[in-house]
Every structure is written in structure tokens, then in C-alpha cells.
Chain A
């Protein structure tokens, strides 16, 4: 493309959802002025715009906000700080050299050259097709987020009688939302023996409305020629295979799917960033920097979070790190890999840069457990030697675990070849 029209910026942020906005605010606070945030939707705020229920911001603002309220605080702050947030701009490509190509109705094709890029594209829902659920492919099958958009942003109901497959948070929230709006929610069906949603949502969205939750069940058939007329649900065995004879038939016109979120990493992969098979996000160090120096990732594009508060928190760090990178403050420590041990999946960051004196402590490590554990210990070992242990009443895959490694713990791994996080029944000797 015409390079003479290339716009030079210090930091370019892809996405103006909660992650992108927080990264921008933090970068600005750390002295970066020449910065642009590109958002493909017509409004900033990301998925929060359609999350009109409350419960956001308890950690960050110490009060209960709705999604749009939470987003508005960041939008207002960004505006107040003079951050350039452009909406209706789709980023098409990010290169290793941080040349970013975007297109919009306003500019046409526009190329940017950035000193640092923060990737904050968020995630998307896993569709019916990805699960290969047998049956017809008629109208009335929606991912929960699409249904949420129709109801909360467009003012239309996608169905009258529905079954929800998957007990992810969006599915649970939509069970309540559809019920309040006059639809009948017949059941929420979960493949696993536990819900992947937060406990408070199971209580407030299902139990309060007498919506049955079928654990260890799945949808084995979808009927209907033009519109869904029914779904068949069956119990599954320990290998998650349907048990013949356990089928339950539901007559409904809608099937909502809340069967997992996937980080949306097309641009990340296109840039040549090293990816994790476990999180489906980039591999990052404790500054949220990817394998390409100057490209950072944060929020749901890095790994799917449960709470927006955590997204913002992580993105503040990414924004500061990007600002430091632009200012030439380089973290030079030795890189030590952080690995998933027993019971642990998807540690982020995947590496920690250990510096003398460990200035950037505390380092937080986030991950999910591979199943439900009660009264277990989260243990961190450096080359087999325990440097951290924390007792948890409950560890469930539905709630991301978060530990904070203080300077003292980090100092203990200074010579270590690897750090392993695991979930163990016994407290190790420290």
C-alpha cells in the first residue's frame, strides 16, 4: 500500500472493548500521547454493551455496575484523557514489523506504523458446528451471545421456548434474561459433571427461576424442518458419550448454545506470534509481551476471563508495558518458563523474566483447574522446590484461579530452569 500515507504512532491498540480501553488509559498515564485505538464496531465498549445485567466492577470499582455502565466509565475516561478512539475501523492485518493495515468507511484502506501494538480483540463463541451436534440445520439455533445481542441491543426475541446447551456464564445470564422477557426456558444442559459458569450465576439465573440444570447431559439431536421444533437430550457417561436409553425429549423452538469461548486470534497468528495450544491465545511473558518484541496481548484475546475486572487489570499492565517499550525501558531478565503441572491448565504468563531484585514483582499467574478440587493447595515449584503454596477451599474450571508471586518467591527461582504450577492435596514442605 502507499507508504507515503502511512501514519506513524507510538502505540496502536486493536479493539476498544474493556481490554483495549484499559490498555490505552494505562499507556496514556505512562506518558504516551501519540496513540490510536481502532474498534471495528460502531461503538466502543465491546461485548459489555450487550451485557445489561449487573455484577460488573465489584473488584475494580467496589460497586455493582451493569456492563454498559462499566464500559462507559472507561469510554468517558479515555475521552477525558484525549485518547483517540476510532470506531468502525476493521484491522485487516498486523505484521511482525508492527505495520497495521485497517479499513473503514471513513478512510478506506489506511496503514499505520506503530512502535508497539496491543492486541485486544476479545473472543468469540464456539458455534454449533464446532460441536458437530447431529440433527437438522434449521432456524432457531443461536449462540447465547447472538441471542443476547438480539434481545438487549435490537429489542427482538429469538424464541419463545428454549433449551440452553452449556452452562457458561452467557448461557446462564440468557436463561434468566429470556425468562424475564416472557420466554420459557425448559432446561440448561451441561456436558460436564460441573457447570463452567460462576456459582453466583447458577443461583441467580437458574435456581431463582426454577430452571433445571442437567449436568453430564448433552444434546444428541435437533429436530425441525424450517424452525427448531424440539431437541433430544441424553445423559453422558464418564467418557462424555451419550448413554442410549437416557434420552429426554424437549419440545422447543430455540436452542441457545453457551459452549465455550475462543480467543479471536486471526491477527495474532497472521503477525507470526507464537501461540499456546492450551489457551488458544498468544504466549506471553509477565509484561504481556508476545514472542514478537513490541506486540502485547491482553484480555479475552489472550485467554478467556470470567470477570471484566480481571481483564481491565491485566490490560493496565499491558498498556504500561507497551508504554515502557516505546520509552525504551526494556526488561532484560532471564526468561524462565511457567508450566502447567498436575491439575492446572493454561498458565498465563507462560514465561517470567527474572531480573535482579525482581522490580516488577508481584507477578500474577492465572490459570484454570482441569476439574473441581476441594481443599487443595495451589503449589508453585521452581525446579521441583516449592516456593509458594496457597490453600483453596474450591478450585473449579469455571472460575479462573489467580496467584500472586511476591518478590521473595521470585528471588527463590532466580537460578531455576522452570517454574511449575500444580494443584496438590498436601501442603508441600517449603
Chain B
């Protein structure tokens, strides 16, 4: 069997250490013949039972479920942290389930998943709430659509939905545009912090033995002669009995590598505004707009942390990883939001962002064993909205399916998730004092906007799947998510990362890869600029 080794092996001979060989910049453009060596052979003998590609909320939910069974599993992702794709940039809504067409996987898994959220979020210690939602109709023309949504809600077994009229809407949400006519009220619509959810799922999986191999893009997946699978990444390659494709935007490419039945992914970008939680919350519920022939509309929603989210747009783009924001889309958000919130106030805007939805051409989730591929390949493809809502259900079903294929037994020594501790910001004075008495670093505030302490930042780095970058710390602790957007705390977070990881400040990145924060010491840069001076 041919095994890929760095092409430069022959060029550099023995000088080429394994570390250099697997450096992605060296290996990226390799087109040379691959040789097998003793060293690689030895490492190759490691056989995984399952490799999950993609460390988003779906991959981590599958890993968390699969880690309840015996077997050696790993999660591989191209980014340096979990939740670093669509899972970090979405509306954070746990949809009640009235939106998906009855009979689809989307509808079934959404409703099943959303019903699992309350318990799961509590177990994981993840912010979750169920404020409810309204779908607003602004003319009598919208009423049939609202009625159709209600019928779908009934068909999908969504509890408590009803149609309400203008007066009741304005009583519930006084900031609603008074031109509203009617609305679908869905009391079970929820909110979750999607990245905190993903991080907590990853931690639980890791605590039960799952490996997380990050910052390592998968290049190729192929069946082996002996009925297993080979996952080739930029730095390494892994042999496994089962492979689970949860690669979000990349899931189509991987599917098409291994299956004879092709899928077509469409990258649909959504852009958002985020408002500070110091500002008065305009709406306590998630406010959707009734879909019309003019489009799906945008939402205004509180987040689990009391911020307000405006958006998203829906623009199909060519590059599925391009999360830039554009003036045009941001203006669109603003214009559309005015329909719901007439006197929209942008003064408290603290950031804008965009996320990509992995839309599959046929519009439904593709979950389960990969059709048209050899045995042992599983997938969750086309998981766009309501993917976050469905994640617990997808994780459970797909995890159990893979375990059944592996004939794996439930572990007797499975460790229950350790709930993420309550954040300092949400503690009472008594709880703060108690936390301080256990760890005096609770007495040091690093992020003043979100009131994040040094103890919490160190804990985020020490978690099973710990933070390695400024953004990773931010997702786990909220340091840098406030009004100053890290202006004050990022230098200190950088220092703490250096202390914890034992690296130089020049190594610390914003979000992995080449996203280094600092380019050199003062002396280095001055010398570069004036090489002839001492």
C-alpha cells in the first residue's frame, strides 16, 4: 500500500525530521511519489474505530454520543478550534420546528432536537433559554402563510403554537412595528449559545477519550483494500474502521470523494449586526418576519447573553469559506429590520459578522450511512438551519448508528459531562466571594466589558479541548465580546495564553494559522527597516 510521506524526504534525506515533513507549507504542493518508511509504518498501525471530520456542533455532538461507546475515536478539523465555522456564526436559535416541511429530515430532527435541548444544555452548563418566537405578518396577504406555518407546526408535532392578532402582539412586544397584523406565536422557540454548546460537547467527548486533531485540513478520504478507510490530512494520515463526514460546508466535497451519488452544495452567506447588552433589549422573543415573495425576511432576536442580533441576509457565494461582510448586505439587514423594529437603534452596535450555511441543492439534511459508498461511511450533509436545533438529535442518531456498525458496547466508565461553571458575570456577590475563596484569580478582572476574570481565562485554556488563540478564549469566556471588542483585554489574554502554553507572544494567533497578532519585537522590526544601523 502506498502511504503519503512528505515529498521532500528524498531531497533532504535524514535531515528532514518528521516535524518538518509534516509542515503544511512544505507538504501542501506535493506531487511526488510517496514512499513507505519504517517510522511511518509504525505510526500507521494505529487504527481508529471512527474518525469524525468536522468539529462543528454536529461533529462534536456525534463525538459526544459516540464517546459513550467503547472504541478509539478522533475528530479532525481544518481550523485550530472547534466551532470555528458555521457553528460560531449563526442566529443561535433553537427553532420550535414549524418552519420545516412535514415529512422531511429537517422537520423530524428539528423537533426531536429542540425537545432535547433543555436537559442537554443543563448537563453541559451551556446558556440556553426558551423565550418563544413570533412570525410577524404585516398585511392580510401574509395571513395564509402564517396559517400554513401553524398547520406545519401541528403536523410536525410542535407544541403550543397559535395565531395571535395585533393587539396581543403589541402587548407582548411593545417595540413591534404597529403596522403588524397577525403573527404565529411559538412558545417553545429557544436560544442557545452555539459556540459554547459546541465547546462543551467537545469537552465531554474528549473527557471520554475522543482525540481532537485540529488545524489539520482533510485532503482526501478513501476506502482501503482491507475494508477500512484512510483519511489523508495536510499533516498526517489516519486509518479508521468508520468515517463520519460532518464537515459542514466541506461535507459535499468529502461526500463526492467517496460516493457514486453526487451532491451539490451551495454556500449561502448570512450577515448580522450584534448590539451590546448594555442597551435596552427591544424584544424579549425571537421576532421572525413572515416569508413573502420578496424573500425570507430577517430576524431580531435576543441572544442568551442579552445582546440583540439583527439579520441574517441570504446570499449565495462562490467561496464557501468567505466570511467577509459587505456594505450591501449589512444595509439590506438594516432596511429589512425596520419592518419589525421601526425605530431600530444602531448606536449600540458592537460588531458585524457573517456565517455560511451549507445548503444542499435538494434542500433537506442528508443523514446516515453514505449511499453509494462502501460500508463504514456515515454523514451529515447539507446541515443548514435548523441544524443547530437538530444537533442533539443528529448527534444521538448518527452516533448510535456508527456504534451499531462498529458493534461497540456502551462504556461502563463513561464520565458524565462536567457542566461549564457559571460565569463570574452571572454570579451573585456570595457566589463571587465563594469562587474567589477557591481561586484568588477570580479577584482579577481581565475583560471589563463582559466581566471575565483571570481564573476563567486560565480555565478555558485548561479545558479538555482548550483554547489556543484569542478567539478561542473569547468563545469560551466572552472576553473580548463586549463594547470594546478586546481593545483592553486582548493584550492581557495574550499574556495569559503565553503563560499557560509556554510560548512567546509572537506565536499567539487571533484564530490559528497565520493570524498572528504581533509581527516582531521592537528591535527586530527596527533592524529590518534599517539593516545598516546598529
Contact = CB atoms under 8 A, between A and B. Distances in A.
Contact of A155 (B485, B522, B529): B522
B39 interface: no
Contact of A139 (B484, B488, B511, B524): B511
Interface in A107-136: 107-109, 124-125, 127-130, 132, 134-136
A110 to B, nearest CB: 10
Contact of A154 (B325, B491, B527): B491
A154 B444 CA distance: 20
B525 A181 contact: yes
Contacts of B324: 134-136, 221-223
A158 B519 contact: yes
A130 B278 CA distance: 14
A183 B529 contact: yes
Interface stretch (A145-153, A283-291, A348-356): A145-153
Interface stretch (A98-106, A206-214, A331-339, A400-408): A98-106
A105 B349 contact: no
B487 A226 contact: no
Contact of A129 (B274, B444, B509): B274
A226 B515 contact: yes
Interface string B500-528: 00000110011111111111111011111
Contacts of B273: 132
A40 B324 CA distance: 36
Contacts of B521: 155-157
B448 A90 contact: yes
A88 interface: yes
B260 to A, nearest CB: 34
Given A146-B491, A226-B514, A129 B441 contact: no
A160 B323 CA distance: 25
B487 A127 contact: yes
Nearest to A254: B519
B437 A108 contact: yes
B352 A158 contact: no
A253 interface: yes
Contacts of A153: 491
Q: Which of the four size classes fits the interface of chain A? A: 35 or more
A129 B352 contact: yes
B429 to A, nearest CB: 4
B353 A137 contact: yes
Interface string A168-194: 000000000000011110000000000
Contact of B330 (A134, A138, A142, A149): A134
Interface residues of B, number: 61
B444 A158 contact: no
B443 A138 contact: no
Contacts, number: 158
A136 B511 CA distance: 13
Interface of A, secondary structure class, is mixed
A128 B485 contact: yes
Contacts of B330: 132, 134
B351 interface: yes
A139 B327 contact: no
B451 interface: yes
A124 B484 CA distance: 7
A413 interface: no
A155 B511 CA distance: 22
A269 interface: yes
Given A90-B445, A143-B487, A181-B526, A103 B432 contact: yes
A105 B440 contact: yes
A269 B278 contact: yes
B108 interface: no
Nearest to B350: A129
B520 A156 contact: yes
B349 A132 contact: yes
Contact of B349 (A130, A146, A154, A227): A130
A393 interface: no
Contacts of A183: 525, 529
Contacts of A129: 274, 349-352, 485
Nearest to B348: A130
Given A88-B444, A136-B324, A226 B526 contact: no
Interface string B375-408: 0000000000000000000000000000000000
Contact of B491 (A137, A139, A149, A226): A149
Nearest to B440: A105
Contacts of A105: 440-441, 443-444
A103 B443 CA distance: 5
A108 B484 contact: no
A125 B324 CA distance: 23
A101 B451 CA distance: 14
A157 B518 CA distance: 6
B349, B445, B520: residue with the most chain A Cβ atoms closer than 10 Å: B445
A139 B516 contact: yes
Given A107-B443, A108-B433, A154-B505, A137 B520 contact: no
A10 B189 CA distance: 51
A157 B525 contact: yes
Contact of B484 (A127, A222, A242): A127
Interface string B423-464: 000000110110011001111110011010000000000000
A156 B506 contact: yes
Contacts of B524: 157
Contacts of A157: 518-522, 524-525
Interface in B270-287: 273-274, 278
Given A139-B517, A183-B525, A220 B327 contact: yes
Nearest to B274: A129
Contacts of B442: 103
A104 to B, nearest CB: 5
A92 interface: yes
A1 B349 contact: no
B444 A104 contact: yes
A88 B453 CA distance: 12
30 contacts: A1-B429, A1-B430, A101-B429, A103-B442, A105-B441, A106-B443, A107-B443, A108-B440, A108-B443, A124-B487, A127-B483, A127-B487, A129-B352, A129-B485, A130-B350, A132-B273, A134-B324, A138-B511, A139-B509, A145-B487, A146-B491, A149-B491, A150-B518, A156-B506, A157-B520, A220-B327, A226-B509, A227-B514, A227-B516, A262-B483
Interface of A: 1, 40, 88, 90, 92, 101, 103-109, 124-125, 127-130, 132, 134-139, 142-143, 145-146, 149-151, 153-160, 181-184, 220-223, 226-227, 242, 253, 262, 264, 266, 269
Given A128-B485, A182-B527, A183-B525, 12 more contacts: A103-B445, A105-B440, A127-B483, A132-B325, A134-B325, A134-B352, A138-B511, A145-B487, A146-B490, A157-B525, A181-B526, A226-B515
- Which 6 pairs between the two chains have the least Cβ-Cβ distance? A129-B351, A182-B529, A127-B485, A139-B510, A139-B515, A226-B515
